[in-house]
Structure 1
Amino acid sequence: MIPGFTQSFVQCGDVQLSVHRAGQGTPLILLHGYPENHHCWAQVTPAFTADFDVIVPDLRGYGDSDAPTDDATHVTYSKRQMAADIVALMDALGIAKAHILGHDRGGRVAYRFALDHPDRLHRLGIIEIVPTGDFWTNWNADLAMKAYHWTFLAQPAPLPERMIGADPAAYIDWTLASWTLSQSLKPFSDAALASYRAQAQDPAHLHAMCADYRAGATIDKALDEADRAAGRRINAPLHFLWAEGGFPAKTGNPAALWAPWAETMTDGSCKSGHFTMEENPKAVIDNFLPFFSAH
């Protein structure tokens, strides 16, 4: 559990989500990425709970949330479905509108939420991603080597599940360390590491994490392309934080990739690898506390 937070389980449509909550004020929903869960926010939440009602769900397929079996078209783990889970969570908690801050896969859920449910959003924060369609379009040899998991995890079941399942904890440790600036596990707490390893050791959650990327290579990409063709944009103010040693930096100019998607956008960068909340929590706080407080 995140220190100072209360955990509950909330039925959100066809899945039950594990939810951690603390603080008071305007609701702020924090969405984690792969291969993490709610633990990734533990170092930044103390700065937000004084002014915000901070809500930290585990996405479907992660942490203590349900991990349903994927379907042939990968709708089950599409970011549209995951965003709908967050709408259902807000409905269950009696929340009309909220701020949303997402990292990695949670960032993809967050911007899909902004496009599909603009009336439920105050402000949008994105950490360490560019839009899915743009990421695929900017694929090159350097990016493919760094982000190999985009194609590996998206392979048909059960290939990646069986390969990772041979030694899940070692795979998670290698993935986490190799995406940090220090190339080590030092940024991660013992509790977080134990939780990240445990979810990969569960066959249902391991399958779900692979399904997340199968959706990214198919339906999520198609939804982005359709929105781009239709000229749809994010209406809520957007602030984007990218790491100098992360994945978006490999695209050349990550802020420029976000600009066509948002009516109002600001951005910042920081010294970090991909796991910014754990590697450089001060940068996350310095970027997003003023941004959300300005509402």
Structure 2
Amino acid sequence: MSGIAGFEYRRVDVAEGVALNVAVGGGGSPVVLLHGFPQTHLMWRHVAVELASEHTVICPDLRGYGDSDKPAEDGEDTYSKRTMAADIVAVARELGYERFALAGHDRGALVAFRAAMDHPDAVTHLASLDVLPTLDMWSVMQGTSAAVGFHLYLMAQPPGLAETMIAASSDVFFGYFLDLWVKDPAAIPADVRTAYLDACRGAVPSIVADYRASAGVDVRHDEADLAAGHQLTMPVSVVQQDWGSALGFDAAERWRAWAPDLAHSTTTSGHFMAEESPKEITEILRDLLKR
């Protein structure tokens, strides 16, 4: 898989010694799309092309992922969502945009959330696909039901153990989630799956560092915002899988505490909804941009 059809690729400097791989296409008001785990910007390949008929669509590989730089973790801030969010604001500005709409899936949604909290003057609209804010995620994971998030606990450990274990069998580890979280395997064809696994194989330390930050500094940043009464000031759309009563908590209520202007919906597709149901996700984003 070479890239998103019709998009141009460039490297954009975002911090000293750190540049992101960025795909840009279309024309009009800017929309930035952030990928999740264990993926790259390619997860947006369908949605991005559709939105590019009306918008300038910007699809970066996050710091530590894909073809973006992977700085060594030299402290808790290297892969904090605050740092990764600043990367995205820097990308937009380097491309000439002070204000932009922002959508994220999974890990990218956590970066998008932090960008909207830290840079409300820059983010005009926010979409989050299939994730809770970090603080809420840890709050709802209790008892045996938390076993589904075993990877969160594994990668939360101090440096060394998780990196060694995952690197020893990275294709099995990352492939497990690609297979488990998809309802329609055809949505991730062989060439795309190979691209994801190749990218993850070369990024084990940085991916683990990203997750480690979410068990530490990212939680503290959310706690500080909660204590200060900070909320998301822009229109927000959240899409999540329809787990029904099995979810065990009210996801919309959790999100509404952060986002007063919230549109919350569910989808019958699996976790990789932008690949499984691209038309549905595209329409949700278009509706958001009209608000």
TM-score (norm: length of structure 2) = 0.95
Secondary structure of the corresponding residue to residue 172 of structure 1: helix
1:166 to 2:168 alignment: yes
1:222 to 2:220 alignment: yes
Among 64, 68, 82, the alignment partner of 1:65 is: 68
For structure 2, the residue ranges without an aligned partner over 5 or more in a row are: none
Cα drift, residue 189 of structure 1:
2.6
Would you say the 8 A contact 1:83–1:113 is kept in 2? yes
Would you say the 8 A contact 2:66–2:200 is kept in 1? no
Paired position in structure 1 for 2:54: 51
Structure 1 residues 6 and 34: alpha-carbon distance in aligned structure 2, compared to 1, 3 A threshold = same
What is the CA–CA distance in structure 2 between the aligned matches of 1:10 and 1:98, rounded to whole Å? 17
Paired position in structure 2 for 1:195: 195
Cα drift, residue 249 of structure 1:
7.1
Structure 1 residues 251 and 64: alpha-carbon distance in aligned structure 2, compared to 1, 3 A threshold = farther
Cα drift, residue 181 of structure 1:
2.8
Structure 1 residues 229 and 249: alpha-carbon distance in aligned structure 2, compared to 1, 3 A threshold = farther
Query: For residue 18 of structure 1, what is the amino acid of its counterpart?
Result: N
Would you say the 8 A contact 1:103–1:129 is kept in 2? yes
Query: For residue 113 of structure 2, what is the amino acid of its counterpart?
Result: Y
Paired position in structure 2 for 1:178: 180
Would you say the 8 A contact 1:9–1:18 is kept in 2? yes
Query: For residue 140 of structure 1, what is the amino acid of its counterpart?
Result: Q
For structure 1, the residue ranges without an aligned partner over 5 or more in a row are: none
1:33 to 2:36 alignment: yes
Among 6, 9, 28, the alignment partner of 2:8 is: 6
Paired position in structure 1 for 2:250: 253
Paired position in structure 2 for 1:262: 259
What is the CA–CA distance in structure 2 between the aligned matches of 1:194 and 1:217, rounded to whole Å? 29
Query: For residue 197 of structure 1, what is the amino acid of its counterpart?
Result: L
What is the CA–CA distance in structure 2 between the aligned matches of 1:245 and 1:180, rounded to whole Å? 14
Would you say the 8 A contact 1:268–1:287 is kept in 2? no
Secondary structure of the corresponding residue to residue 65 of structure 1: coil
Secondary structure of the corresponding residue to residue 148 of structure 1: helix
What is the CA–CA distance in structure 2 between the aligned matches of 1:83 and 1:5, rounded to whole Å? 23
Cα drift, residue 200 of structure 1:
2.1
Would you say the 8 A contact 1:181–1:245 is kept in 2? no
Cα drift, residue 245 of structure 1:
5.0
What is the CA–CA distance in structure 1 between the aligned matches of 2:99 and 2:118, rounded to whole Å? 14
Query: For residue 272 of structure 1, what is the amino acid of its counterpart?
Result: S
Query: For residue 197 of structure 2, what is the amino acid of its counterpart?
Result: R
Cα drift, residue 201 of structure 1:
1.7
TM-score (norm: length of structure 1) = 0.93
| Map 1:42-191 → 2, pairs under 5 A | 42-72=45-75, 74-182=76-184, 185-191=185-191
What is the CA–CA distance in structure 2 between the aligned matches of 1:267 and 1:196, rounded to whole Å? 29
Deviation per CA, 1:232-257, whole angstroms, max 9, x where unpaired?
A: 000011010111259x9735211110
Query: For residue 8 of structure 1, what is the amino acid of its counterpart?
Result: R
Would you say the 8 A contact 1:168–1:200 is kept in 2? yes
What is the CA–CA distance in structure 2 between the aligned matches of 1:143 and 1:93, rounded to whole Å? 43
Structure 1 residues 209 and 249: alpha-carbon distance in aligned structure 2, compared to 1, 3 A threshold = farther
Cα drift, residue 283 of structure 1:
2.1
Moved more, 232-241 or 259-268: 259-268
Would you say the 8 A contact 1:124–1:239 is kept in 2? yes
Query: For residue 117 of structure 2, what is the amino acid of its counterpart?
Result: L
Would you say the 8 A contact 2:235–2:288 is kept in 1? no
Cα drift, residue 220 of structure 1:
0.4
Paired position in structure 1 for 2:230: 232
Matched residue count: 288
Would you say the 8 A contact 1:37–1:58 is kept in 2? yes
What is the CA–CA distance in structure 1 between the aligned matches of 2:234 and 2:204, rounded to whole Å? 33
What is the CA–CA distance in structure 2 between the aligned matches of 1:126 and 1:261, rounded to whole Å? 12
Among 196, 208, 228, the alignment partner of 2:206 is: 208
Structure 1 residues 240 and 84: alpha-carbon distance in aligned structure 2, compared to 1, 3 A threshold = same
Would you say the 8 A contact 1:245–1:272 is kept in 2? no
Would you say the 8 A contact 1:245–1:273 is kept in 2? no
Cα drift, residue 142 of structure 1:
4.5
1:242 to 2:240 alignment: yes
What is the CA–CA distance in structure 1 between the aligned matches of 2:28 and 2:156, rounded to whole Å? 39
